[in-house]
């Protein structure tokens, strides 16, 4: 108890009157009974004064001055309330006794966990604070804080700890702080209201400590960015981000959505007010922060008209979609560490149109084959010639379309289409790795419609930088492949292996139509028929090692 008393500067002295021009009341003792400080008067706080078990009411037009190192504490030991509600014409002023005050001339006002229903409105808080704290500190409680002016704070204007929040917070001006105007934990940043003005350098704004956040909440646009330190995990509720918000993440920080419970992110900017997610680094580089991850409990999440820059890790994307589906349209992803978008084996898009993804360390998109049909139209992939949409081999089904993109699909491993109708748009390009193959209709009735045209061939080829015959395996139509049509397709560098029936296109126990196709540089046959019939015509063959067409 002795140490605590010493910390707060508790003394047995009574309040004293000082005389002279403009008399003032010196406050040296703790306030433990309901007390009112009257309008037009000046009160001088000496040392650290606590308000406990009482309500301190400060009337409009009152001036409260603090000696060097002095401070005011509300509700440290017992329930207490500060009502400091001025008016626009009669603000309450909290300032220093110094004739030439400087930032940190006094230590500030702190609201502790026993502060109940406290309110500051139309107050001026000048020259307060100390290193790593605020002119006003909100610790494990909530206060009303409206229409106040904080100026020349030593460090933060307002500092909130991990359970500190605002009951209401609007119309404030905070400027000339040594650090950020506000520091707050992510779980409570939605309690920052509207109409606030933060005047600070470009590398300052709302300092957000990483935290778990929950509920049906909104993160509002302010005139400065959010500077996010550490991971923010939003779970169980709906988070709406207003158009025009800017988030700057520190190294290793990221945003996680829906890991444990059903959760929705609505981050829909507009053409004129995009939502920006980027790094806080003074000199940005790819992978400066970890990125945004949607987990399996993310439902109906949407990102539209967003900018995502300098994010990602060495193995994942700037945006990661894991075992869920999201809407992702009209966004720009730039300077990702590895992938722009990374989707795991059960992830796809509800809608995905008109995005621009560029300057990634690897492919702009990585996705499993069963979900590539969820990639929509109008997307621009700015990447080198050996990059595009990285497709992981997978089982595929349904009535779906693989769209022509402005870059190729790079296929790793085997793709097995079974049970449904797959349509491939003219001009689509598929580049297979050494283990690549494409199988249709092994178990269930399946139809492949791969009809290009004379100016837009559908191309099946190798992803090898130095292509050679046999660089990938084959396209294989099995006995459940029904009514398949392949027109104006190119098959290049296929026919991997040593078996005598190897080919670029093989068919087993089926009838199909392959017309006006080109079979180039097969390590086996161009086409091989196993109890099968090709009803098509007009195909050409170039340098097929075992011949043009073979059969059993």
**Closest C-alpha to 130, from 107, 150, 159, 148:** 107
Tokens 């086996």 found at:
524
Residue 11 has pLDDT above 80, yes or no: no
Structure tokens at 403: 């769209």
Half-sphere exposure of 201 (CA within 13 A, CB side): 6
Give the model's pLDDT for residue 88: 98
- Cα 451 from Cα 358, distance rounded (Å): 30
CB of 457 closer than 8 Å to CB of 518: yes
CA angle 161–163–165, rounded 5-degree value: 85
How far apart are the C-alpha atoms of 469 and 173, rounded to whole Å? 70
- Distance from C-alpha of 182 to C-alpha of 180, rounded to nearest angstrom: 5
Phi-psi region of 427 (alpha: psi -120 to 50; beta: other; left: phi over 0): left
Can you tell me the mean pLDDT for 197-216?
Answer: 98
The average pLDDT across 467-485 equals 98
CA 234 – CA 186 distance, rounded (Å): 9
Q: What mean pLDDT comes out for the span 204-219?
A: 98
Classify 250 as helix, strand or coil.
coil
Percent of the chain beyond pLDDT 70? 96
Residues near 104 by beta carbon (within 8 Å), at least 6 away in sequence: 127, 128, 129, 130, 131, 153, 154, 155, 178
Identify the band that residue 290 occupies on the pLDDT scale cut at 50, 70 and 90: very high
DSSP letter for 372, please: G
pLDDT in tens, 33-48: 999 999 999 999 999 9
Instruction: Please check the confidence at residue 8 and state whether its pLDDT lies above 70.
Output: no
Domain spans of the chain, in order of start: 1-209, 213-387, 393-552
- Token representation of residue 184: 């707050």
12 pLDDT above the threshold of 70? no
- pTM, two decimals, is 0.94
The Cα 205–Cα 222 span in angstroms is: 9
* 244-276 per-position pLDDT tens digit: 999 999 999 999 999 999 999 999 999 999 999
Q: Would you say residue 214 has pLDDT above 70? A: yes
Cα distance between residue 25 and residue 392, in whole Å: 76
Does the pLDDT of residue 282 top 50, yes or no?
Answer: yes
Closest CA to 141 of 110, 184, 112: 112
Instruction: Label residue 23 by pLDDT band (50, 70, 90).
Output: confident
pLDDT for the residue numbered 22: 55
pLDDT value for 2: 32
Pairing relationship of beta strands 134-138 and 108-111 according to DSSP bridges: parallel
- H or E stretch at 306: strand 306-309
User: Coil, strand, or helix at residue 457?
Assistant: coil
* Mean of pLDDT values over 365-389: 98
Tokens of 290: 């970890």
Average pLDDT, stretch 153-175? 98
Answer yes or no: is pLDDT of 9 > 60.
no
Measured distance CA(230)–CA(252) in Å, rounded: 7
pLDDT digits (tens, 9 = 90+) for 302-346: 999 999 999 999 999 999 999 999 999 999 999 999 999 999 999
Average per-residue pLDDT in the chain?
95
Give the pLDDT mean for 531-536. 98
């Amino acid at each position: 108890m002795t140490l605590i008393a010493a910390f707060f500067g508790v003394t047995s002295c009574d309040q004293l009157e000082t005389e002279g021009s403009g008399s003032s009341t010196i406050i040296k003792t703790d306030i433990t009974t309901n007390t009112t400080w009257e309008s037009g008067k000046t009160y001088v706080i000496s040392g650290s004064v606590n308000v406990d078990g009482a309500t301190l009411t400060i009337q409009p037009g009152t001036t409260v001055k603090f000696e060097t190192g002095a401070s005011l504490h509300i509700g440290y030991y017992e329930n207490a309330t500060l009502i400091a509600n001025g008016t626009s014409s009669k603000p309450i002023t909290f300032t220093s006794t110094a004739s030439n005050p400087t930032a940190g001339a006094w230590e500030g006002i702190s609201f502790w966990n026993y502060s109940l229903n406290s309110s500051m409105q139309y107050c001026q808080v000048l020259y307060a604070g100390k290193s790593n704290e605020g002119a006003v500190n909100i610790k494990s409680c909530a206060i009303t804080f409206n229409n106040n002016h904080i100026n020349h704070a030593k460090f933060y204007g307002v500092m909130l700890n991990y359970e500190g929040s605002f009951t209401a917070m609007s119309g404030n001006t905070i400027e000339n702080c040594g650090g950020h105007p506000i520091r707050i934990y992510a779980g409570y940043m939605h309690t920052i209201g509207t109409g606030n003005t933060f005047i600070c350098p470009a590398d300052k704004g709302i300092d957000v400590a990483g935290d778990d956040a929950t509920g049906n909440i909104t993160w509002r646009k302010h005139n400065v960015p959010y500077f996010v330190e550490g991971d923010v995990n939003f779970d169980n509720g709906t988070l709406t981000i207003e158009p025009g918000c800017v988030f700057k993440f520190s190294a290793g920080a990221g945003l996680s959505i829906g890991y444990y419970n059903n959760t929705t992110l609505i981050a829909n900017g507009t053409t004129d007010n995009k939502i920006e997610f980027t790094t806080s680094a003074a000199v940005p580089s790819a992978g400066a922060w970890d990125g945004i991850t949607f987990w399996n409990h993310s439902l109906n999440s949407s990102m539209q008209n967003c900018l995502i820059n300098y994010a990602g890790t060495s193995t994942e994307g700037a945006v990661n979609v894991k075992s869920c589906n999201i809407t992702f349209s009209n966004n720009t992803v730039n300077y990702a560490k590895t992938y722009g978008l990374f989707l795991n084996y059960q992830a796809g898009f509800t809608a995905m149109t008109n995005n621009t993804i560029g300057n990634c360390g690897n492919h702009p998109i990585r996705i499993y084959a069963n979900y590539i049909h969820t990639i929509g139209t109008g997307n621009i992939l700015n990447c080198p010639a050996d990059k595009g949409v990285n497709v992981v081999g997978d089982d595929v089904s349904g009535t779906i379309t693989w769209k022509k993109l402005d870059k190729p699909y790079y296929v790793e491993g085997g793709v097995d289409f079974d049970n449904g109708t797959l349509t491939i748009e003219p001009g689509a390009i598929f580049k297979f790795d050494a283990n690549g193959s494409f199988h249709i209709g092994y178990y269930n009735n399946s139809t492949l419609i791969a009809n290009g045209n004379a100016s837009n061939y559908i191309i099946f080829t190798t992803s090898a930088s130095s292509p050679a015959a046999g660089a990938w395996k084959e396209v294989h139509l099995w006995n459940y492949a029904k009514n398949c049509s392949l027109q104006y397709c190119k098959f290049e560098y296929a026919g991997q292996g040593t078996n005598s029936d190897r080919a670029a296109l093989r068919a087993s126990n089926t009838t199909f139509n392959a017309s006006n196709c080109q079979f180039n540089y097969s390590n086996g046959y161009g086409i091989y028929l196993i109890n099968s019939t090709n009803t098509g015509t007009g195909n050409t063959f170039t340098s097929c090692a075992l011949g043009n067409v073979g059969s059993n």
